[in-house]
Structure 1
Amino acid sequence: MKRIHLKTLIVLFTMVGILSCSDDDDTTLPTDDDGGITLDFSGTFTQEDQMGRPGINTVLSPDNATENAFNVTIPSEQGAAFQPTFLQRAIDLHAAFGVEYETNILGLDAVTLTTILASDVLQVAPDNPTSYFDGTNVLTGRTLTDDVIDISLILFFGGVNGDRFNGQDTDGDGTPDLPILVSDGVSASGETPSSTFPYLEAPHN
Structure 2
Amino acid sequence: MDSALQAFRDRRNAEKADGIPVAKKDTLKAPSRKNNNRMQAVWDNYKAKNPDADLQEGETLIEFVWDYARHSKGKISDRSSIHTLDQYILRFAGMMKVDHGIKIPEKNIEDARQFLKGDLKEELSLSDSQYDKGFADWEDIKIIIKHGLAYDEHQYHDERHRLQLVFLFLLISDDGERIGAIARSDCYREEERALTYNVGITKNYAQLEY
Instruction: Name the TM-score, length of structure 1 as normaliser.
Output: 0.29
Higher helix proportion (structure 1 or 2) = 2
Higher Cα radius of gyration? 2
Higher RCO, Cα 8 Å, sep 6+ = 1
